[in-house]
Amino acid sequence: MSKLNLYTRPIVIFDPNNKLHRQYFTNFLASGSWSNCPVRFAVEEDHGNLIGHIQRKLLIWYSDQEKKGRLAVAKIQRGKKHLGLTGTGFEITLE
């Protein structure tokens, strides 16, 4: 076994339930680099690139969290709403 194999970061499958995995991805988005990430993520299925795979998993995870009521979501109130558009020559409202 090569010495390089001893010092490489462990390869893991991205798990959106793992708060650390979500934080590692957030850090990657902020810095544009995986250099500070202590693990290497692998694509578990044949989805193409790693970033797209992680984004799809997060989208599904956050959608499930909203359905379960664990995330606060914006409530759309029904009724007449003024859109605040000016300069159009007429007022636009939603009903």
- Predicted pLDDT of residue 84: 56
The model's pTM? 0.66
Tens digits of residue pLDDT in 25-63:
999 999 999 999 999 998 877 667 899 999 999 999 999
Nearest Cα neighbor of 59 from 87, 12, 25 is: 25
| Local confidence band at 82 (pLDDT 50, 70, 90 cut-offs) | low
Provide the token pair at 35.
Answer: 């250099």
Dist CA 28 CA 36 (whole Å): 8
Q: Which residues fall within 8 angstroms of residue 17, CB to CB, at 6 or more apart?
A: 61
Q: Which helix (H) or strand (E) holds 64?
A: helix 50-67
